[in-house]
Every structure is written in structure tokens, then in C-alpha cells.
Amino acid sequence: MATLTFFDDPRDFLARADWHLRQNPVLNTVVATYSERLVAEIEDGVYPDEVDYARWWVVVTDHAGEVVGAGMRTAPFAPHPPFLLAMPDDAAVELARVLHERGEKLAGVNGALPGTRLCAEETARLTGGSADVVIHTRLFELDELVPPRPAVGSLRLATAVDAELALQWFEEFMIAADEQAGREPGSGHDQVETIEGMLRRIELGRIWFWEDEAGERVHMTGANPPSYGAARVGPVFTPVEHRGRGYASAAVAEISQLILDDGNTPCLFTDQANPTSNGIYQALGYRPVVDMTNMLIHS
């Protein structure tokens, strides 16, 4: 039987899960990246000590004390779904039971299969509700770039004067992602960024704009700082009036090559319901690694 150990500080979690996270940085990218981001916020004095939602990290160990799974509940947007990495089936079910026993309402779960599904379904059973898939996601990684056709213009790092537009395009990206996947706009994504957070991303050099020959900003791509040797690309957004001109392919290609040149592995998530983005990334050489899911639990 697996053992669950909870942490309320990302530093303690990373100290315990470090070896496990290092074994597969791409598969573990979400938990590793976000946990390290919060550690950096603690060090910089901008980490919120108190939040109005449940926040925790969990490590799963086997009978020998070896870490065999992990997860976190840190999402600042409703319904504050945990993100689960791969873990034994019994641990995913037990997690649902432990959270239920301590009165923690769980209305969504994201992450690796089958654990995410098992946790959501057990929660639904305990509460007399139902669990449904909202988004099927797919994680890709890149070993060697396949250069795309050249696009007019050039890539540049964002500066503080770009922050307002970057924040606006983050919001529009999430709406467009739902529309392109055939969902009701706003049903599958939540806005989780603030102007302060955007300025921090820009200060860290993690937001780029593509400018056309007239110097107009026509595309934006972001990327997370590397974590354990993997750097996750996204969001990738082109306003509708500028689509079809190769800006996304060109920007993602350049940024992916920068990541490779630094000795890290680029990775990214796609929505399986969006064939356009899946096709763009595979044409650049990205190959699928694993399918994941976002689920909602209805009472």
C-alpha cells in the first residue's frame, strides 16, 4: 500500500521529491516548474503566505520508502484542481479518500492518466456526483528541430512596455483555445495571470513577441524557465487577423532552438481537440510523450 505525505511548503516538497522529479523532467514538468517558481517567489518575498483555497504538495512512497508519485494543489483559479503526476492506482484512489475525509472539496483534477481519472471518479463516488473529462491534453518533447519555412519579421524578447498587451493576449489565448477546440469560450481555461506576474515573466526573459516588417507585434510565445533540464513552451498565440503567415511556427522554432542550445529539452502541451496546434508542433519535430486530462467533478 502506498503512503501519502503532504507538504505545505514547496521547498520541503522539492527536497523530498528531488530524485523522483529528476528521473523524467519532461513528464514531471508541470509540478517541477511551478514548485520551483513558488520557491523563487518565497526567496524574492512575493509568495502569498495565505490563500483562500487549499494549497498542498503530496509525495507518494512505496513500502520501501521510495518515491513513486507526486502531485500538488496550487492552482489559484477555480475549482483549484490538483495536478497529479503518474502514481500507483491505489494511491490515486487513497488521495481522493483522504481529501474527502478531511473535508476538502474537490471539484476538479488535472494530470496524468490513469491516476487523475481514478482520483476524480473516487471523489465522485464518495460525494454522489459524477466526473467528466473537460480537456484531453497531450505532452510533446523535442529532440531535434525541423526548421519551418521562414516568416516575415523577427523575434524579440518582451520588455516592460509590452506587459499590458502580453496580459491581454494571455486572456485571448485561453478564449481562442476553447473556440478552436469546439468548446464554449471560457469553459476549459481560466485566467491565472496578473500584471505583476506578467512583469515578472518579462523580467525573467520568458516572453517573446514576433514583429512583422513594419515593427507591429503580431504574435506572442512564452516559455517557463528550465526545471531539471526541461523547459515548457507556452502559451503560443497569434491574433486571428495575423494567422496563417507562419508566425507561430517561426517563433516556437526559434525559442525551442534556444532551449536546445542551452542544453535543455523543450516540451509543450497541446489540446487534442485542436488539430492546428498539434500539426504545427509535430511539423517542427515535436513528438508525443504522454496523454493527460483535465476533469471536473459535479456534485
Of 54-68, 95-109, 172-186, 201-215, which gets the smallest average pLDDT?
A: 172-186
Q: Specify the pLDDT at position 53.
A: 92
Main-chain dihedrals φ then ψ at residue 211, nearest 5 degrees: -110, 140
Give the pairing of strands 230-237 and 265-271: parallel
Q: Is residue 294 part of a domain?
A: no
On the question of pLDDT at 192 being above 90, the answer is: no
Residue 149 is assigned to a structural domain of this protein:
no
Task: Provide the pLDDT for residue 149.
Answer: 95
Residues 11, 106 within the same domain: yes
With a pLDDT cut of 70, the percent of the chain lying above it is 95
Q: Indicate whether 87 and 176 sit together in one domain.
A: no
Note the pTM of the prediction, 2 decimals. Answer: 0.92
Give me the number of domains the chain comprises: 2
pLDDT at position 164 over 80: yes
Answer whether residue 297 is part of any domain: no
**pLDDT score at 191:** 54
Same domain, 81 and 106: yes
pLDDT(21) > 80 = yes
pLDDT of residue 176: 77
pLDDT tens figures, 226-281: 999 999 999 999 999 999 999 999 999 999 999 999 999 999 999 988 888 889 99
Q: How confident is the model at residue 58 (pLDDT cuts 50, 70, 90)?
A: very high
Residue 133 lies inside a defined structural domain of this protein: yes
Structure confidence at residue 218 (pLDDT)? 98
pLDDT 10s digits, 82-138: 999 999 999 999 999 999 999 999 999 999 999 999 999 999 999 999 999 999 999
> Position 46: which residue type?
V
Residue 25 lies in a domain: yes
Average confidence (pLDDT) over 205-221: 98
Q: Which domain holds residue 7?
A: 3-138
- Whether 215 has a pLDDT exceeding 70, the answer reads yes
Same domain (yes/no): 129, 7 = yes
Confidence band for 174, pLDDT divided at 50, 70 and 90: confident
Domain containing 181 — which CATH number?
Answer: 3.40.630.30
**Confidence band (pLDDT; 50, 70, 90) for 288?**
very high
pLDDT at residue number 277: 82
pLDDT at 16: 98
Examine the pLDDT at 49 and tell me if it is beyond 70: yes
pLDDT, tens only, 102-114? 999 999 999 999 9
